[in-house]
Structures are given as structure tokens and as C-alpha cells.
Structure 1
Amino acid sequence: MLCGLLLTASCSQDREANSATLPNHDQVALDTATIPAPAPDTQAVASPDTAAALATAPETTAPDTGYTYPGPKPLPGAILPHKRILAYYGNPLSKRMGILGEYPVDEMLSKLDQEIENWRKADPVTPIQPALHAIVVTAQGKPSAGGKYRLRMTDKMIEDVLAMAAKRDAIVFLDVQVGQSTLQEELPRLEQFLKLPQVHLGIDAEFSMKNGGVPGRRIGTFDAADINYATKFLSDVAKQHNLPPKLLIVHRFTQGMITNTENITLRPDVQVVMHMDGWGPPALKKDTFRRYIKNEPVQFTGFKIFYKNDTKNNSRLMTPEEVLALKPTPMYIQYQ
């Protein structure tokens, strides 16, 4: 995702799209352009049925940190909640899609080092796991090959991100914006990378156009059934290759982006993070977290900070201390 709406009406000209006019094949480098912003979602809170289901979900408490969260006890090797993940997000082929591609590799990694140090000072108890979160299927403003409104990155691009991550012993998230495609079409191609122990998955509901339409002109959606497909896919990969638990990051900043959360199946070998992906001043970000993450946390929670969009209109970045004060405390932090 390139910029998330909070409770504002539009981010119009501020919204950066994923690519310019597309060539007639999927696996190419991308540039940037602008696509219109979606309309805001107006629903604010979880339904009573959803809230009741979450209230009765089993919980697990980590013995080392005391952190309590919904779902089964994870298998050995799980990262959460024993460490907090701090990720840099973007695409190395674009300077406008996030910090990951904005600077030369060594400079970007140095900035990541400094951000990690800021978080260590704010919370000396919880170890930090560095991460790079790369968009490897990008939603498009035009139909592209097959009419799917999505662009697949090359294997070479993914391999380059893996090489960057290796310089910091960082884990890697492969982020998918399906457009008019589906997770069923996109995830199998990524299995060759997801079978690596350090590689995990992100799915962006904003650009999942289930009922047709052009990505970016309205906000898309994933249902619990989509998330269950993703967790089952990751679970199968983990079992087949004898891997520690996989992580699934689910982007969200409106009520309608994720439906039927009470039907999401939690698995011991997959850890689900509901990730607050909206931008704006601190008060709006906190309110969005409360409405769409705290009310339906599912399992673990995440929080995104936008270096540029969060500082528009004389606003400021939230500090690590402010993010740590949120409840449930985010265990996945992403910078764009």
C-alpha cells in the first residue's frame, strides 16, 4: 500500500500509484504514476457478533514477556511475541513506494539500524527482529497482461531483496496486491521463496478488487475465507519443509477491508498480524487503530509509520513510546 486513508475524504493528488503505463508482460521493472484515491469507509466498529467471538477466543501468554494474545500456543521457533519486528517497506525498483527503494541499499540499511536503536531505547526488554517488506505483486491502474490489474515482480527483484536482508540478518516479507487476481493465483508462484525459513507473507486488502473495478478508485476487501486460504497455504509450506511458524501481515485501515474476522482460523504454525496501515496525524492514527485493529485484533497487531504522509499539514511522526502505549501493544512495526 502506498498511502492509507484514515478518516479523511481523500488523499487524491497525494496518493502515489504503483506503476506507470504498463508493457504487455508481467515481470518488468516499474515506475510510478498517480491513480485516484478511494472513497473513505464510514463504518466504525466491530459488530456485536464479532466482538463476542473475539472475547471468547482462547488466549496464550508468552512466559518470557508475559504478552497475552488470542490463539493457540505457537510452535517452537515462532518470532512473536518473543521479539518485536521492525520492517522497512517498499519496492527496490521505485523511489516513491517506500523507504525500501528510496535510498541506495547501504544508506537504507543504515537508516533501519538507527530506527531499530530508537525502538531499543524505548523498549529495552523486547528484542528487535529487523525486516524488509517488499511489494512483489503491485496493483495497477490499467488492466495489464491477462486483465488482472496487477504486475508481478521478477524473481531477480525478490532475490535482490533477500540479499539486502542478509546483510542485517533480517527476515523478508513478500507483499501481494492482487488487483483483480486472487491469492489462489498469486501465492503458488511465491512458494519457491516462502519455503525459505526467513521469508514470510503480506496481503493488502486495499487493492483486492473482488467485485471488479480499478485498484485505487475504491478500497478493496478480503474476507476471512481469503485469509484462511493464505494461512492454510503458509501452514502447508511450513509443514512440508519443516519450518518454524510463518508470519502473515494483513493490511487494514477501514472496517470493510476485512470481513467476517470471527471466522478467521488461527493455526499454531502461522502467526497473523492485523496491521494498521493508515496515515495522518497521531490522533487519527490512534483512532483508526482503536476502531479497526483493537476491536478486531484476531491475534497480533501491527502499526505503520509513514515518513512523508504522516508529516503532511505540519503534522509529525508518532514516537516509539506513543506506539508502545497502544493496546494491544503492536509487535510488528512498519516504516514506509
Structure 2
Amino acid sequence: MRVHLALSLTAACLLAACSGGDSPDAGAAAARPSAEVSPPGAGAGSSPAVGAPAGTEETAPAVVPKQRKLPRGGTTVFPEHRLVGYAGNPGSAAFGILGIGDLGAKGRDIEKRGEAYDSDGRTILPVFELIATVVHRGAGDDGMYRSRMDDEIIEQHLKAARKAKGLLLLGIQPGRADFLPEVKAYERWLKEPDVGVALDPEWAVEEGDVPGEAYGRTTGSELDVVAGYLAGLVADNGLPEKVMVYHQVARSVVVDESRLHRHAGVALVKSIDGIGGPGAKRGTWYHVLQDTPGHVHTGMKLFLEEDVERGGRLMSPAEVLALKPRPSYVLFE
């Protein structure tokens, strides 16, 4: 069991910004932004054709949404970019570096750290991976062992990501909930051109299991349904390619991975999350990647504290870039 699990779960219970789960105001509805995003073409209907026989109508042509761009231009993430990011949650430092210190300075920090990962010609695209759905040991009012961050917190992180001309990824620790409804809960944000998702199936437990007491898991089919939903948002709203990360610490965490198919407009990334020194992380990398579909990009998570505590030091940028296939996402927690 990973060292940071207990810390994260304990810290989760202290989150004041969550709108469900174990927080005192679990039943309160999350505050919504004053301006909702409407799908392009909303309100367009059909009008009778001039001179048409009474009682007949001519359907108006479909409105094609204007193509939107990524923060640093273009509509595709790979192979031009390498994602370099911080993960965390403002509720506690135990969740990762993103929740520590000045949020407004994180973009500069990521840019500086990312300079060591652009030696192969890829440009760095900063990532803020906010844990938005947070797992808990307590069931909560709905019995799902999770809570969702308020829109105010998400908006703060999106503003910080935009200041850095980067991406915001909404992390999902679903507890006993399914991934798709958790992702759909953030549709207002996912209609934005610079917001994606990061799924953490280690925290997706079965009925009767409690997060932190048993590893969760998901299937390639469940991941495929989420990817298909995101592809629909991209097509319907003229969005650039949307990033969908799924974290994996062991092969057992994702079964039947071959059922995760390619989807137009979705950049799939598998992040390897093993803890330890460089040798241990390389071993986990090659072991967990064995079942990965060829169209899925790879990512490496580096734990700034746990990797050093267990392995003596953090993997160097040269060691990370020497992995095969070379990671397209480097995440620090």
C-alpha cells in the first residue's frame, strides 16, 4: 500500500472546500459561476421557408462551432508538446505540491522545472492537475465515499493555469461512484478548451470496499466510455484535443485495457505512479506498461517526498527521458 494513502485520506476529511462527502455542509449545493457556458449554436431552431406550402418547414442548417485553440496555439497536444505539471489540492499539503504555497506562482515553477524536459525538441505545456473529486473513508450522505470541489476552487485553478498558458486537469478519485457521472459533473468546465481530466482508478472501489483498505480498479471499457464522452464534447463545441490521463500504480488497477480505443479529439495518457528510487520506478514502468494500447501516450509521476524517502533520490530528468517509450507527461506530486 502506498505511503501517502493514509495521509491523503486523513487530509481529505479536513477539506472545507468540498461540497459533499464528510464535510459538515455535505448536502449544500456547490456555488455555480455567474456565467454558464452555452453550447455553440444554442437557441438556433428552424423557421418556415419563404413561399413554402402552409404547414411545412425547412430545417435550418446546422451551426458549425468555431474551432478553438490550445493555450499555446494549435489543436493537437502531441507530439509537439510534453506535459509537465503539478498535482494537488488546496485542502492539504498531503495531496501534493499544487496545494502548497502561492497558486499564482505555480506556473513559473512548472516552466522552470520543465526546462530540463525539453531537450528532445518538444515544447513544454504546463499542467495543473487539481484533485477535484476527493475520496474519503466515510461514506457521506450518498454512500459514495467521495466529495467534489466547489466551482470557486476550480475557477481559481483555471485562472492560474491560464495565466501560465497551460492546461487544467480535473483529477477524479471516485470512491464507489462510476467515473462517467463524476466526469459529467464537471461538464461546464470540460466545455472549455484548456480543461481535461485525470482519472485515478486506484480509488475506484467496489460495493462493500472502503477506499484505503483495498485497491480500486477500473476496466478498459469504462475508460473508453469516458473517452467517448469527451470526444463528443470536443466535436460539439469546436474544442482542441482534450487530455484524458489515467493513473496506474499496478497492472491490476486497469483490466481489459485493450478495450480502451482511440477517439478523435482525445489525447490518452497513462501515468505510471509507482513509488521508489530510480531502479524501482524503472521496474514499475516496464511492468505496468505491458498491456498498454499503442495509441496511448505515457506519463511518469514523480513523488517529491516518497520517492526520496524510499529510494534515496528523485529520478533525474535524463533518467526520465531515457525511459522507453519516452514519457509525454511528467507529473510532480
Confirm or deny a common fold (TM above 0.5).
Answer: yes
Report the alpha carbon displacement of residue 109 of structure 1 after superposing the two structures with TM.
3.3
1:165 alignment partner, SS class: helix
1:16 alignment partner, SS class: helix
Q: Which residue of 2 aligns with 1:291?
A: 287
State the one-letter code of the partner of 2:26: H
- The residue correspondences of 1:46-125 to structure 2 (distance < 5 A) are 77-120=75-118, 123-125=119-121
Which region of structure 1 is more displaced relative to structure 2, 234-243 or 18-27? 18-27
Larger Rg: 2
Query: Per-residue displacement from partner, 1:285-330 (whole Å, max 9, x unpaired)?
Result: 1111100124425411000011111110461000111011111111
Report the alpha carbon displacement of residue 111 of structure 1 after superposing the two structures with TM.
2.4
Q: TM-score, normalised by structure 1?
A: 0.78
Gap runs ≥5 in structure 1? 30-75
Instruction: Write the distance in 1 (CA, Å) between the matches of 2:161 and 2:325.
Output: 28
Q: Which residue of 2 aligns with 1:19?
A: 12
Which structure's relative contact order is higher, taking Cα pairs within 8 Å and 6+ residues apart? 1
* Displaced runs of 4 or more, over 4 A: 12-15, 26-29
Q: Which residue of 1 aligns with 2:315?
A: 318
Report the alpha carbon displacement of residue 13 of structure 1 after superposing the two structures with TM.
8.3
- The residue correspondences of 1:135-174 to structure 2 (distance < 5 A) are 135-174=131-170
Query: Per-residue displacement from partner, 1:257-288 (whole Å, max 9, x unpaired)?
Result: 00001111111211111110121111111111
Q: Which residue of 1 aligns with 2:329?
A: 332
Q: Identity of paired residues, percent? A: 27
2:251 alignment partner, SS class: coil
- The residue correspondences of 1:236-255 to structure 2 (distance < 5 A) are 236-255=232-251
Instruction: Write the distance in 2 (CA, Å) between the matches of 1:192 and 1:221.
Output: 27
Instruction: Write the distance in 1 (CA, Å) between the matches of 2:5 and 2:245.
Output: 27
Instruction: Write the distance in 1 (CA, Å) between the matches of 2:124 and 2:229.
Output: 27
Instruction: Write the distance in 2 (CA, Å) between the matches of 1:171 and 1:194.
Output: 11
Q: Is the Cα–Cα contact under 8 Å of residues 92 and 161 in structure 1 kept in the other structure?
A: no
Closer, same or farther in 2 for the Cα pair 1:314/1:255, shift >3 Å?
A: closer
Instruction: Write the distance in 2 (CA, Å) between the matches of 1:126 and 1:140.
Output: 38
- The residue correspondences of 1:174-189 to structure 2 (distance < 5 A) are 174-189=170-185
Query: Is the aligned partner of 1:308 residue 2:300?
Result: no
Query: Per-residue displacement from partner, 1:62-83 (whole Å, max 9, x unpaired)?
Result: xxxxxxxxxxxxxx71101211
Report the alpha carbon displacement of residue 110 of structure 1 after superposing the two structures with TM.
3.4
Closer, same or farther in 2 for the Cα pair 1:84/1:27, shift >3 Å?
A: farther
What root-mean-square deviation, in Å, do the aligned CA atoms of Structure 1 and Structure 2 show?
Answer: 2.1
2:252 alignment partner, SS class: coil
Q: Which residue of 2 aligns with 1:270?
A: 266
Query: Per-residue displacement from partner, 1:228-262 (whole Å, max 9, x unpaired)?
Result: 11101101110110112211101001111000011
Q: Which residue of 2 aligns with 1:53?
A: none
Instruction: Write the distance in 2 (CA, Å) between the matches of 1:320 and 1:151.
Output: 35
Q: Is the Cα–Cα contact under 8 Å of residues 179 and 209 in structure 1 kept in the other structure?
A: yes
Instruction: Write the distance in 1 (CA, Å) between the matches of 2:143 and 2:8.
Output: 21
Q: Which residue of 2 aligns with 1:199?
A: 195
Closer, same or farther in 2 for the Cα pair 1:26/1:135, shift >3 Å?
A: farther
Instruction: Write the distance in 1 (CA, Å) between the matches of 2:315 and 2:220.
Output: 30
Instruction: Write the distance in 2 (CA, Å) between the matches of 1:26 and 1:114.
Output: 41
Q: Which residue of 2 aligns with 1:49?
A: none
When the two structures are aligned, how many residues end up with a matched partner?
280
